[in-house]
């Protein structure tokens, strides 16, 4: 029996909005004021959408959502491994080379394992993974949502009483929040291995010495904080991407704009949030 009002899990967040028109600002102050107000309003809308997605998380294994969740985990996780491998490998190699060359001046190049591991676990692992996923998966999500808005698919969902936040946002949120820590562990591992290659081939640090050094000074806390950061970055990417995509207007140009904004805004928030989380755990 199709009776949405009886089995209500409707959206508190209206996705299909009426078109907005603004008169040109009369002066610079008006332009600035409007920009601030729009920033606050859009932030509020994005957080409200995130809150509703979180409130729907318990549906993630329901018949309606599990297929999409599986698909999003595949897209956000497995399909990103190629680019992550290359970026992580060279990040580890660069880190090892730069620190190794400096440490060699003091005869301490054997310690590159520690430097590479701690930097990757604490900062570079989650940060690089966040940037790669924001640029690849985040932009793709924004483009998909934007196209769905333009082609009236979101409106069609809402009219069919299918909550777009539960149907589209929640599976992506869960998938990326779960996959980001695994991707970060993978980034860390590949990066550390890249450092070992450089250590072995250019700095005369054997694999044994390198890996012995890796585990000696790195703490569990470094890993856990890094993984926590990765989860937060996953939430940021999906929230920004879906919010920007849902706000797309004016056809293909609007979709392009939403995609570009997603990458820029995600980068900025990841960078700032990375600092604050570090500050929170390392005083």
Partner 1 sequence: MIRMEQVSKRLGGRVVLDGVELKIEPGETFFIVGTSGAGKSVMLKHMIRLLTPDSGRVWIGEDCISEARGRRLEQIRARFGVLFQSGALLAWLSAGDNVGLPLRQRTNDSDADIDRLAAAKLALVGLADAFDKLPAELSGGMRKRVGLARAIITQPEIVLYDEPTSGLDPVTARTIDALIDSLRQSLGITSVVVTHDLHSALAIGTRIAMLDGGQIVAVGTPAEFVRSTNAKVQQFLEAQFITKHGNWEKAVAT
- Residue 257: enclosing H or E segment and its boundaries? helix 251-281
For residue 235, give the nearest of 137, 101, 91 by alpha carbon. Answer: 137
1 binds partner 1 (CB under 8 A): yes
Stretch that binds partner 1, among 128-136, 159-167, 194-202, 227-235 (CB under 8 A): 159-167
Crossing angle of helices 220-246 and 251-281, rounded to 10°:
160
Report d(CA 243, CA 133) in Å as an integer.
Answer: 16
CB distance 76 to 133 below 8 Å: yes
Q: How many residues bind partner 1 (CB under 8 A)?
A: 27
Shortest distance in whole angstroms from residue 148 CB to partner 1:
8
Among 5, 24, 29, 105, binds partner 1 (CB under 8 A): 5
**Footprint of partner 1 on 246-265 (CB under 8 A):** none
Report d(CA 230, CA 171) in Å as an integer.
Answer: 17
- Spell out the residues 6+ positions from residue 164 whose beta carbon is closer than 8 angstroms to its own: 11, 15, 154, 157, 158, 246
Shortest distance in whole angstroms from residue 12 CB to partner 1:
8
**Footprint of partner 1 on 208-247 (CB under 8 A):** none
Report d(CA 160, CA 151) in Å as an integer.
Answer: 16
Among 127, 167, 210, 267, binds partner 1 (CB under 8 A): 167
For residue 80, give the nearest of 117, 135, 145 by alpha carbon. Answer: 135
Stretch that binds partner 1, among 18-26, 117-125, 199-207, 229-237 (CB under 8 A): 18-26
Shortest distance in whole angstroms from residue 49 CB to partner 1:
16
Among 78, 86, 151, 221, binds partner 1 (CB under 8 A): 151
Shortest distance in whole angstroms from residue 153 CB to partner 1:
5
- Residue 85: enclosing H or E segment and its boundaries? helix 81-104
63 binds partner 1 (CB under 8 A): yes
162 binds partner 1 (CB under 8 A): yes
CB distance 80 to 136 below 8 Å: yes
The residues binding partner 1 (CB under 8 A) are 1-5, 7-8, 10, 12, 16, 18-19, 21, 63-64, 148, 151-153, 155-156, 158-162, 167
């Amino acid at each position: 029996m199709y009776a949405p009002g009886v089995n209500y899990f409707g959206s508190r967040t209206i996705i299909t909005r009426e078109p907005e028109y603004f008169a040109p600002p009369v002066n610079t102050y008006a332009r600035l004021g409007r920009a601030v107000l729009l920033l606050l309003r859009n932030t509020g809308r994005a957080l409200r959408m995130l809150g509703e997605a979180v409130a729907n998380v318990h549906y993630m294994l329901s018949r309606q959502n599990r297929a999409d969740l599986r698909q999003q985990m595949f897209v956000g996780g497995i399909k990103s491994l190629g680019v992550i491998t290359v970026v992580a490998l060279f990040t580890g190699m660069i880190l090892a080379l730069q620190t190794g060359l400096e440490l060699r001046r003091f005869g301490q190049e054997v310690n590159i394992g520690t430097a590479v591991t701690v930097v990757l676990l604490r900062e570079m692992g989650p940060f690089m993974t966040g940037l790669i996923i924001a640029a690849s998966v985040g932009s793709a999500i924004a483009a998909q949502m934007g196209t769905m808005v333009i082609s009236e698919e979101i409106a069609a969902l809402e009219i069919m009483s299918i909550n777009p936040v539960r149907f589209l946002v929640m599976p992506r949120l869960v998938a990326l929040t779960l996959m980001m820590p695994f991707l970060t562990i993978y980034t860390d591992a590949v990066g550390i291995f890249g450092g070992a290659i450089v250590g072995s081939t250019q700095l005369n640090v054997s694999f044994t010495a390198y890996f012995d050094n890796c585990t000696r000074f790195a703490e569990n806390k470094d890993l856990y904080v890094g993984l926590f950061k990765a989860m937060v970055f996953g939430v940021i990417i999906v929230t920004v991407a879906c919010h920007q995509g849902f706000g797309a207007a004016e056809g293909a140009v609007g979709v392009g704009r939403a995609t570009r904004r997603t990458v820029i805004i995600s980068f900025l928030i990841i960078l700032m949030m990375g600092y604050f989380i570090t500050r929170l755990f390392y005083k």
